[in-house]
Amino acid sequence: MRIGELATATGATVRALRYYEEQGLLHAERTPSGQRVYAEDAVDQVDWIRMMLKTGLPSKAIAKLRRCRSIDEVTPEQMAVIHAEHARVEAEYQAAATIRARFTSMLDYLNTSPNAGTSAAASTTADTGVPTTATSTTTTTGAST
Protein backbone atom coordinates (compact mmCIF):
# COMPACT_ATOMS: atom_id res chain seq x y z
CA MET A 1 0.00 0.00 0.00
CA ARG A 2 1.40 3.41 -0.99
CA ILE A 3 1.47 6.40 1.34
CA GLY A 4 -1.50 8.14 -0.31
CA GLU A 5 -3.60 5.00 -0.03
CA LEU A 6 -2.69 4.64 3.64
CA ALA A 7 -3.56 8.28 4.25
CA THR A 8 -6.97 7.79 2.62
CA ALA A 9 -7.62 4.55 4.52
CA THR A 10 -6.77 6.05 7.92
CA GLY A 11 -7.70 9.72 7.61
CA ALA A 12 -4.12 10.66 8.52
CA THR A 13 -2.26 13.16 6.38
CA VAL A 14 0.69 12.11 4.25
CA ARG A 15 2.83 14.43 6.37
CA ALA A 16 1.63 12.71 9.57
CA LEU A 17 2.54 9.31 8.13
CA ARG A 18 6.03 10.56 7.26
CA TYR A 19 6.35 11.94 10.79
CA TYR A 20 5.30 8.59 12.29
CA GLU A 21 8.02 6.93 10.24
CA GLU A 22 10.63 9.52 11.28
CA GLN A 23 9.73 8.91 14.93
CA GLY A 24 10.03 5.13 14.59
CA LEU A 25 6.30 4.58 15.04
CA LEU A 26 5.61 3.18 11.58
CA HIS A 27 7.74 1.21 9.16
CA ALA A 28 7.65 1.33 5.37
CA GLU A 29 9.61 -0.63 2.82
CA ARG A 30 11.04 1.35 -0.09
CA THR A 31 10.70 0.65 -3.78
CA PRO A 32 13.81 0.98 -5.97
CA SER A 33 12.59 4.50 -6.80
CA GLY A 34 12.35 5.36 -3.08
CA GLN A 35 8.57 5.32 -2.71
CA ARG A 36 7.15 4.09 0.59
CA VAL A 37 5.20 0.83 0.59
CA TYR A 38 3.30 -0.17 3.73
CA ALA A 39 2.13 -3.60 4.86
CA GLU A 40 -1.60 -4.31 5.01
CA ASP A 41 -1.59 -4.10 8.83
CA ALA A 42 -0.36 -0.49 8.60
CA VAL A 43 -3.97 0.74 8.80
CA ASP A 44 -4.35 -0.85 12.25
CA GLN A 45 -0.93 0.46 13.27
CA VAL A 46 -1.80 4.03 12.26
CA ASP A 47 -5.15 3.81 14.06
CA TRP A 48 -3.35 2.65 17.23
CA ILE A 49 -0.69 5.38 16.92
CA ARG A 50 -3.33 8.08 16.49
CA MET A 51 -5.29 6.76 19.47
CA MET A 52 -2.15 6.84 21.63
CA LEU A 53 -1.30 10.36 20.47
CA LYS A 54 -4.84 11.52 21.32
CA THR A 55 -4.29 10.40 24.92
CA GLY A 56 -1.32 12.75 25.07
CA LEU A 57 1.32 10.03 25.05
CA PRO A 58 4.53 11.43 23.53
CA SER A 59 5.76 9.86 20.30
CA LYS A 60 8.97 8.68 21.99
CA ALA A 61 6.95 6.71 24.56
CA ILE A 62 4.76 5.27 21.80
CA ALA A 63 7.88 4.18 19.92
CA LYS A 64 9.11 2.35 23.03
CA LEU A 65 5.79 0.56 23.37
CA ARG A 66 5.74 -0.38 19.67
CA ARG A 67 9.00 -2.27 20.10
CA CYS A 68 7.43 -5.04 22.17
CA ARG A 69 6.05 -7.67 19.84
CA SER A 70 4.75 -10.08 22.48
CA ILE A 71 3.92 -10.04 26.18
CA ASP A 72 7.21 -11.84 26.88
CA GLU A 73 9.15 -8.92 25.43
CA VAL A 74 7.68 -6.19 27.65
CA THR A 75 10.50 -4.61 29.63
CA PRO A 76 10.24 -3.06 33.10
CA GLU A 77 10.76 0.34 31.43
CA GLN A 78 7.80 -0.25 29.12
CA MET A 79 5.67 -1.41 32.06
CA ALA A 80 6.59 1.78 33.92
CA VAL A 81 5.54 3.87 30.92
CA ILE A 82 2.24 1.99 30.70
CA HIS A 83 1.55 2.43 34.43
CA ALA A 84 2.43 6.13 34.35
CA GLU A 85 0.31 6.82 31.29
CA HIS A 86 -2.58 4.81 32.73
CA ALA A 87 -2.45 6.93 35.89
CA ARG A 88 -2.30 10.15 33.85
CA VAL A 89 -5.24 9.17 31.66
CA GLU A 90 -7.22 8.05 34.72
CA ALA A 91 -6.63 11.44 36.38
CA GLU A 92 -7.74 13.25 33.22
CA TYR A 93 -10.81 11.02 33.04
CA GLN A 94 -11.73 11.85 36.65
CA ALA A 95 -11.27 15.58 36.00
CA ALA A 96 -13.45 15.35 32.89
CA ALA A 97 -16.09 13.43 34.87
CA THR A 98 -16.18 16.23 37.44
CA ILE A 99 -16.59 18.86 34.72
CA ARG A 100 -19.28 16.77 33.05
CA ALA A 101 -21.18 16.48 36.35
CA ARG A 102 -21.08 20.25 36.78
CA PHE A 103 -22.40 20.82 33.27
CA THR A 104 -25.14 18.25 33.88
CA SER A 105 -26.11 20.03 37.10
CA MET A 106 -26.14 23.36 35.29
CA LEU A 107 -28.28 21.99 32.46
CA ASP A 108 -30.69 20.37 34.93
CA TYR A 109 -31.07 23.72 36.66
CA LEU A 110 -31.48 25.64 33.42
CA ASN A 111 -34.02 23.19 32.04
CA THR A 112 -36.27 23.84 35.07
CA SER A 113 -35.72 27.60 35.22
CA PRO A 114 -38.43 29.84 33.76
CA ASN A 115 -35.71 32.37 32.83
CA ALA A 116 -33.51 29.91 30.93
CA GLY A 117 -32.42 31.36 27.63
CA THR A 118 -33.59 34.88 28.43
CA SER A 119 -31.37 37.90 28.74
CA ALA A 120 -31.93 38.10 32.50
CA ALA A 121 -28.80 38.98 34.44
CA ALA A 122 -27.17 35.89 35.93
CA SER A 123 -24.45 35.21 38.41
CA THR A 124 -22.77 32.01 39.54
CA THR A 125 -22.68 30.75 43.08
CA ALA A 126 -19.19 29.70 44.06
CA ASP A 127 -20.17 26.52 45.87
CA THR A 128 -22.26 24.84 43.14
CA GLY A 129 -21.28 26.51 39.90
CA VAL A 130 -25.00 26.81 39.09
CA PRO A 131 -26.15 30.20 37.80
CA THR A 132 -28.73 32.07 39.83
CA THR A 133 -30.83 34.96 38.56
CA ALA A 134 -29.87 38.32 40.00
CA THR A 135 -32.69 40.27 41.57
CA SER A 136 -32.79 43.81 40.28
CA THR A 137 -35.35 45.97 38.60
CA THR A 138 -34.82 48.27 35.68
CA THR A 139 -36.38 51.72 35.46
CA THR A 140 -37.64 53.22 32.23
CA THR A 141 -34.31 55.01 31.82
CA GLY A 142 -32.46 51.69 31.84
CA ALA A 143 -30.79 52.25 35.21
CA SER A 144 -30.83 49.44 37.72
CA THR A 145 -32.29 50.05 41.15
Average pLDDT across the chain, whole number: 83
The pTM of this model reads 0.59
Q: What pLDDT tens digit does each residue of the chain (145 aa) get?
A: 999 999 999 999 999 999 999 999 999 999 999 999 999 999 999 999 999 999 888 898 888 787 766 677 788 888 888 898 889 889 999 999 999 999 999 999 999 888 777 755 455 555 555 555 544 444 444 544 4
- Cβ atoms 99, 93 nearer than 8 A: no
Q: How far does the chain reach from its first CA to its final CA, in angstroms? A: 72
- pLDDT tens track for 24-66: 999 999 999 999 999 999 999 999 999 999 988 889 888 878 7
DSSP-derived pairing of the beta strands 29-30 and 122-124: unpaired
**Amino acid making up residue 5:** E
Assign domain 1-67 to its CATH architecture.
Orthogonal Bundle (1.10)
**Amino acid making up residue 130:** V
